[in-house]
Amino acid sequence: MNLGRTLFSQLISFVPDREFRRCVARYDGDRRLRGFSCWDQFLCMAFAQFTYRESLRDIEACLRSSPDKLYHMGIRGRVSRSTLADANERHDWHIYADFAQTLITRARVLYANDPFGAELRLSAYALDSTTFDVCLAMFPWAHFRDRKGAVKMHTLIDLHGNIPVFVCMTDGNAQEVKILDQLLPEPGAFYVMDRGYLDFERLYRLTLAAAFFVTRAKDNLRLQRRYSHPVDRATGVRSDQTVVASGSLKRYPAALRRIRYFDPEHQRSLVFLTNNFKLPALTIANLYKSRWQVELFFKWIKQHLRIKVFLGTSQNAVRTQIWIAISIYVLVAIVKKELQLSASLYQILQVASVTIFERVPILQAFQPQTSGEQFNQFSNQLSLFDL
């Protein structure tokens, strides 16, 4: 008797499997199949993300406990710790990176009109990086310090929906500012960065590409004021000036806009630099404040996805795990939007973790339940508190 699909199968049904097969074929991922395909690997790693599995042995034990459900999950290969470890080492991580970009493109369309802190309808992105501490003896390629290793994840998120659009993994020694060389600027878009990305030569490339940037000025930065514009000090804006970089004219020959803003919440003064001269100064300040969304994104994925403990020690295994984790994050965002769920991404993951094998309609699983027991008003059982 058909009792319906499991919740895991219903979630995976939102994955465009045809696009996944194209990514696999692009890199000839199933050339050496060995009974465990890239799709099997993706499903096992997705199961680990949904159910908070911490090791390959943990994944093996949980999946083997329900062998009759593996077929309905779409897993055709034999699940074992060694097979999954071998797949993480051998299957090209570019397969999962390209597939994640497919999901990202779909999610960005769904969240294109979502508002964020600044009143801005144009595309806006926040760029930053975070590190994952690892053992240097087990990850010899992840150089950071003499006796410490780290993996650094550089991420550019779309502030409309907090969807990651660019992710690059490096060792801990990589400089953040060099990531600007890998970005393809979008004309008319805003790129919000902290002062670690302040490099006039690289920022001028954004200007030449008709893109805008907002960043913070360093304390020792020397700028020459050309013009001062009127401001409303009641908004927190203290000054709005047109400046030029005195010692870096060759690297940034155009004018810059410097805005001084007093943050009443933290009682500190901030200085912003931008190449946009049309938006109000307060909008620029609010736009930089929205950069905090990328910090919240890092905090969220570290708390609710399985990326702080890696299931393999090679670069390929680490990148595969991170890209599949990002795919699950974006997949949940897609499910939330397309089904118009009121539950948050955190709530969806929590409910999925305990009902992943349940045969319950997906809308019923994620809709808020009323607390308290519901009684039938026509029940013939007497109420204890009837008067």
Tell me the per-residue pLDDT of 52-78, one tens digit each, with 9 for 90 and over.
988 999 998 988 887 777 777 778 778
Q: What gap in Å lies between CA 121 and CA 106, rounded to an integer?
A: 19
Helices in 260-361 by DSSP H: which ranges? 281-289, 292-304, 315-338, 345-355
pLDDT band for 379, please (50, 70, 90 cuts). Answer: very low
Q: Going along the chain, which residue ranges are E strands?
A: 124-134, 143-145, 148-158, 163-171, 190-192, 212-216, 223-229, 237-245, 256-263, 268-274
**Cβ neighbours of residue 353 under 8 Å, at least 6 residues apart?**
50, 51, 52
Query: What is the helix (H) or strand (E) element at residue 7, kind and residue range?
Result: helix 7-12
Tell me the per-residue pLDDT of 275-306, one tens digit each, with 9 for 90 and over.
999 999 999 999 999 999 999 999 999 999 98
Q: Among residues of the chain, what percentage have pLDDT more than 70?
A: 92
Residue pair 345/333 in contact by the 8 Å Cβ criterion: yes
Tokens of 364: 């019923």
What predicted TM-score, i.e. pTM, was given to this entire model? 0.88
Tell me the per-residue pLDDT of 135-154, one tens digit each, with 9 for 90 and over.
988 999 999 988 889 999 99
Q: What gap in Å lies between CA 212 and CA 257, rounded to an integer?
A: 11
Torsion sign, CA atoms 137, 97, 215, 303: negative
* Confidence check: pLDDT of 120 > 90: no
Q: What gap in Å lies between CA 99 and CA 91, rounded to an integer?
A: 13
